[in-house]
């Protein structure tokens, strides 16, 4: 999800993007995710040093430093997030003297000695470590252990309390003698607690927990994720933790639409009333995303020149609108499971064939536009990042047809700092919430609708529900593996969050069914977990999302960091800001305040 969409935070976006191996600056002071690389030239000729990141797909080598001859040296600050391929070239010989690939450690000082080889005519490059790098993952390990201890305490304490209450309740019933007397008020309180635990909630707690889990992860990555690259969006193809969040939200929207609209239809809510509700909620989501999350008073007068038209809430709102229409016009109040024997295996699919027909037509439209639409000065069906990728042949083709359509419709009123900008040196704006990707967002939501239909169709048959969730996960997972060929860049359709590619949708659909099925089993069937603390943010998702987007860059949620040499302060700030919003959601949950639209 592209969370940092406030114009005032565009400078911060560049900082969060990281270096990805580019030449940031010269000097002896590497900061977080940086290392110092010094070249010592002992040859009698000048050499040029070039580099590229191994994550960058078929990228053109970029110039790093020029090293003068006769025992001269030159230094450069390099990125440590990904493996770098480096080569040293002699222009006088028009040859590559040496090359290597290496992942450098954060804060380390490295040297490369370029000198003549005694055994061979060609020079050789000898590496050395002048200063050992920091352990970049130590803050993450310490934080994970602390969170694990806190989570364990939250699990053990309620369990011990329930055991204590159950023991007192048994004593109050079975042991009426004076030697076993128990305080009546305390006994009644424990009895009430015992009954509360046993009572089954009417609301699907696993769905709220799933939503809250996705939102909590999103808030964490929006605060920078401790500066770790895998908590930020992938440069182009591939998946990181940040790329998982928005599809989960879309999936949950689809499931919620089926459950909520089926319940309202059973209560006799008319189609006209449903359409009014759909329209109102869609307009509110669109206006929240367009007016509030695109602008901050710190930016000065509102200007159309920088206002972003697409956005996260805009896409969620439009996806909700389409899914709601599908359920309003082609949904069912009741599922006749055994009316027709051949329906028994797939009633959640056969009864909704008009919806399936519309979704298949939408996906066919996406495939045709993506792979058949001609784009000026670009190859047909191009899915790359442009810039220096693909040997620099298509520098202005970022996103292929998807980017071309958005630039035609929105001009410059779209996302100016796409995740590919830093690594691929792209110049074209590209919006990950663009028009073409919204089609596959609807498809992703429709997969969530399937989960809701399964829950309704097999109500009370938990084993059937879990088996169907697993079957869907396997089918979608195999589809993603085939489309991507189990590679990051070499598949028929790579997994790409920026494009919301078909393989990305099937991959995230697989994860969503597995995660929802696991939570449904643990929370709603077994009752082993109440969903805390994620259920608090899940029941107030709009409030937390809008609140953290508007206030996230103000104290006490964040502050100007002073320790730039490691991840410690950044990770602390990310966890602190996330914890504050979880605490706020908990207090609202206790007060029974739920912001709904």
Pairing of strands 34-41, 62-67: unpaired
CA 69 to chain centre: 48
Phi-psi region of 156 (alpha: psi -120 to 50; beta: other; left: phi over 0): alpha
Point out the catalytic residue in the list 40, 109, 233, 548.
Answer: 233
**CA 498/CA 315 separation, integer angstroms:** 13
Beta strands in 267-315 (DSSP E): none
Contact indicator for 523, 218 with CB cutoff of 8 Å: no
User: CA nearest 53: which of 550, 389, 487, 489?
Assistant: 389
User: CA nearest 355: which of 257, 425, 272?
Assistant: 257
Pairing of strands 95-102, 109-115: unpaired
DSSP per position, 342-367: GGTT-HHHHTTHHHHHHHHHHHHHHH
Tokens of 224: 């920078």
Contact indicator for 47, 479 with CB cutoff of 8 Å: no
**CA 172/CA 554 separation, integer angstroms:** 53
Q: Is 164 a catalytic residue?
A: no
Contact indicator for 422, 428 with CB cutoff of 8 Å: no
Contacting residues for 185 by C-beta, under 8 A, at least 6 apart: none
Pairing of strands 34-41, 109-115: parallel
The residues annotated with a catalytic role in the active site are 233
């Amino acid at each position: 999800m592209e969370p940092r969409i406030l114009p005032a935070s565009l400078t911060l976006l560049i900082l969060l993007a990281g270096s990805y191996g580019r030449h940031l600056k010269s000097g002896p002071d590497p900061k977080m995710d940086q290392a110092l690389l010094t070249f010592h030239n002992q040859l009698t000729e000048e050499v040029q040093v070039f580099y590229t990141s191994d994550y960058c797909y078929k990228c053109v080598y970029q110039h790093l430093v020029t090293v003068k001859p006769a025992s001269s040296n030159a230094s450069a600050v390099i990125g440590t997030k990904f493996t770098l391929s480096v080569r040293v070239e002699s222009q006088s010989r028009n040859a590559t003297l040496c090359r290597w690939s290496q992942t450098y450690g954060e804060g380390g000082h490295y040297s490369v000695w370029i000198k003549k080889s005694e055994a061979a005519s060609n020079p050789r490059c000898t590496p050395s470590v002048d200063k050992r790098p920091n352990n970049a993952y130590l803050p993450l390990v310490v934080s994970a252990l602390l969170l694990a201890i806190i989570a364990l305490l939250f699990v053990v304490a309620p369990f011990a309390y329930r055991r204590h209450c159950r023991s007192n309740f048994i004593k109050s019933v079975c042991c009426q003698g004076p030697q076993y007397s128990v305080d009546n008020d305390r006994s009644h309180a424990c009895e009430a607690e015992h009954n509360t635990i046993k009572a089954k909630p009417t609301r699907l707690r696993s769905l709220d927990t799933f939503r809250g889990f996705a939102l909590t992860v999103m808030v964490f990555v929006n605060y920078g994720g401790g500066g770790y690259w895998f908590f930020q969006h992938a440069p182009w193809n591939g998946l990181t933790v940040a790329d998982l969040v928005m599809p989960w939200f879309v999936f949950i929207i689809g499931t919620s639409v089926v459950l909520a609209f089926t319940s309202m239809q059973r209560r006799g809510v008319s189609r006209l009333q449903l359409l009014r509700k759909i329209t109102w909620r869609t307009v509110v989501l669109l206006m929240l995303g367009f007016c509030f999350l695109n602008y901050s008073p710190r930016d000065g007068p509102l200007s159309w020149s920088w206002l972003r038209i697409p956005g996260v809430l805009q896409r969620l709102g439009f996806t909700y609108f389409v899914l709601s229409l599908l359920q309003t016009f082609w949904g069912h109040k009741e599922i006749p499971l055994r009316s027709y024997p051949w329906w028994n295996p797939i009633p959640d699919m056969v009864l909704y064939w008009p919806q399936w027909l519309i979704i298949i037509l939408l996906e066919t439209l996406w495939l045709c536009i993506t792979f058949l639409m001609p784009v000026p000065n670009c190859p047909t069906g191009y899915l790359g990042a442009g810039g220096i990728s693909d040997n620099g042949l298509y520098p202005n083709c970022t996103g292929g047809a998807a980017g071309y359509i958005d630039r035609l419709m929105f001009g410059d009123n779209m996302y100016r700092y796409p995740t590919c900008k830093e690594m691929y040196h792209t110049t074209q704006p590209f919006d990950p919430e663009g028009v073409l990707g919204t089609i596959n967002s609807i498809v992703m939501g429709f997969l969530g609708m399937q989960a809701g239909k399964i829950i309704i169709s097999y109500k009370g048959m938990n084993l059937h529900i879990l088996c169907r969730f697993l079957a869907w996960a396997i089918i979608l997972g195999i589809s993603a593996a085939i489309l991507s060929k189990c590679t990051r860049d070499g598949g028929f359709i790579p997994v790409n969050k920026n494009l919301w590619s078909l393989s990305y949708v099937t991959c995230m659909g697989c994860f969503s069914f597995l995660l929802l099925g696991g939570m449904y089993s643990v929370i709603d069937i077994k009752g082993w977990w109440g969903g805390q603390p994620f259920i608090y943010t899940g029941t107030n998702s709009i409030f937390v999302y809008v609140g953290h987007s508007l206030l996230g860059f103000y104290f006490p949620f964040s502050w100007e960091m002073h320790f730039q040499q490691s991840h410690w302060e950044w990770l602390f700030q990310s966890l602190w800001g996330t914890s504050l919003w979880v605490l706020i959601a908990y207090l609202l949950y206790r007060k029974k305040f739920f912001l709904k639209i």
